[in-house]
C-alpha cells in the first residue's frame, strides 16, 4: 500500500519519476528562495549536468572518457563532492541530493572551479541507482545519511536491504562503498545489514580503521557540527568482494 504522506510530499516536490512506494528518506527539500544568480545557474548550468535516469545505462552517457565513475548519495552542502571532484579529475562524480540549496551550492562550485567531471541529480538518488547498470561504478559514498532516530522513522533510513543490494549490484568487484555516521545506532544498523548481505569485505585491523577519517575524506559542515556537539565520526570502507576463481 502507498504511504499517503510520502505520496503527497513527492507530488509537492515534483519528484514524479520516483517510485511512490518507496519511503521518503530525506527531510527538507527546499530552503530559502534561491538568489538570482543561483536561479540562473539552475536554468543555464543544471540542464548540462543533469543525470539522465530515463533508461538503463543513461546516467553514464558522456562519461566514457573518465577512468573511474563514482557516485555520492545525499551530498548535502556539496563540500565532499566538490573536494573529490577537484582532487580526482580522472573520476567522473555523480552526485544526487534532493535539497535545493545543496544542489545550488554544487552548481556554484562547478562554475567557480570550472569542473568538467561532475554530474548532478536534483532528486532521489535511488532513481539514479535503478538506472545504473551492473558493475558500473568504482566508488559509492553514503556519508552521514539522515539518522531518523525515532523507531517509527527507522523505515526511512536510506540503508536497508534493498538499497545495499542495489549498491552491491552497481559496484565493480573490488569497488568501494564508503559509509560514515556520527550516530552509533545507525553504525550498528548498517554493520548488521552489511554483514547480513554478505557481499562486502570489511576486516578492520584496529579501531583506527573506523575512527580515523583519512586524508581523502574531507570534513563537511555536517560533520564539523556533529563534532562540535560532542558526537564522534565513524568511517567505513566496505569493498565489494571479488569472486574467487575456481580450480
Ligand X SMILES: C[S@@+](CC[C@H](N)C(=O)[O-])C[C@H]1O[C@@H](n2cnc3c(N)ncnc32)[C@H](O)[C@@H]1O
What 8-state DSSP symbol labels residue 40?
H
Task: Give Cα 180 to chain centroid, integer Å.
Answer: 11
Q: Does 131 bind ligand X (CB under 6 A)?
A: no
Instruction: Identify which range of 106-114, 123-131, 186-194, 238-246 contacts ligand X by CB under 6 A.
Output: 123-131
In DSSP notation, 75-135 reads: -TTSHHHHHHHHH-TTEEEEEEE--HHHHHHHHHHHHHTT-SSEEEEES-HHHHHHTSPTT
Q: Are 69 and 132 in contact (CB under 8 A)?
A: no
Binding to ligand X by residue 59, rule CB under 6 A?
A: no
- Can residue 143 be called a binding residue for ligand X (CB under 6 A)? yes
Catalytic residue list? 146
Residue 76 as a binder of ligand X (CB under 6 A): the answer is yes
Report the residue number, 141 or 200, with the smaller CB distance to ligand X: 141
Q: Does residue 98 belong to the site contacting ligand X (CB under 6 A)?
A: yes
Q: Which of 51, 92, 118, 125 binds ligand X (CB under 6 A)?
A: 125
- Examine residue 53 and tell whether it contacts ligand X (CB under 6 A): no
Binding residue (CB under 6 A) for ligand X from 82, 94, 97, 157: 97
99 binds ligand X (CB under 6 A): yes
Q: Does 135 bind ligand X (CB under 6 A)?
A: no
User: d(Cα 79, Cα 129) in Å, to the nearest integer?
Assistant: 22
Which grid coordinates are listed for 236?
A: 567505513
Among 144, 200, 210, 238, binds ligand X (CB under 6 A): 144
Please tell me the distance from the alpha carbon of residue 247 to that of residue 236, in angstroms, as a whole number. Answer: 33
**Least gap, CB of 242 to ligand X (angstroms):** 28
Among 59, 101, 145, 175, binds ligand X (CB under 6 A): 145
CB–CB of 143/180 below 8 Å? yes
Cell triple for 46:
543544471
Q: Based on C-alpha coordinates, what's the Rg of the chain? A: 18
- 69 near ligand X (CB under 6 A): no
Site residues for ligand X per CB under 6 A: 25-26, 73-76, 96-99, 102, 124-126, 143-146, 158, 220, 222-223
Amino acid at each position: 500500500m502507498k504511504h499517503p504522506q510520502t505520496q503527497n510530499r513527492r507530488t509537492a516536490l515534483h519528484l514524479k519519476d520516483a517510485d511512490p512506494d518507496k519511503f521518503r528518506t530525506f527531510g527538507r527539500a527546499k530552503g530559502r528562495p534561491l538568489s538570482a544568480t543561483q536561479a540562473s545557474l539552475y536554468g543555464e548550468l543544471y540542464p548540462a549536468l543533469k543525470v539522465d535516469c530515463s533508461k538503463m545505462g543513461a546516467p553514464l552517457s558522456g562519461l566514457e572518457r573518465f577512468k573511474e565513475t563514482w557516485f555520492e548519495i545525499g551530498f548535502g552542502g556539496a563540500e565532499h563532492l566538490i573536494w573529490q571532484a577537484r582532487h580526482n579529475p580522472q573520476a567522473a562524480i555523480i552526485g544526487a541530493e534532493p535539497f535545493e540549496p545543496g544542489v545550488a551550492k554544487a552548481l556554484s562550485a562547478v562554475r567557480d572551479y570550472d569542473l568538467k567531471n561532475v554530474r548532478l541529480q536534483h532528486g532521489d538518488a535511488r532513481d539514479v541507482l535503478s538506472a545504473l547498470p551492473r558493475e558500473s561504478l568504482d566508488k559509492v559514498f553514503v556519508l552521514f545519511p539522515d539518522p531518523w532516530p525515532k523507531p517509527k522513522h527507522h523505515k526511512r533510513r536510506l540503508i536497508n536491504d534493498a538499497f545495499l543490494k542495489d549498491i552491491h549490484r552497481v559496484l565493480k568487484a573490488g569497488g568501494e562503498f564508503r559509509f560514515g555516521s556520527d550516530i552509533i545506532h545507525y553504525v550498528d544498523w548498517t554493520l548488521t545489514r552489511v554483514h547480513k548481505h554478505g557481499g562486502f569485505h570489511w576486516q578492520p585491523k584496529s579501531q583506527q580503521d573506523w575512527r580515523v577519517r583519512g586524508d581523502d575524506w574531507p570534513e563537511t559542515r555536517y560533520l564539523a557540527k556533529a563534532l562540535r556537539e560532542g558526537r564522534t565520526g565513524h568511517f567505513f570502507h566496505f569493498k565489494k568482494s571479488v569472486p574467487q576463481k575456481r580450480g
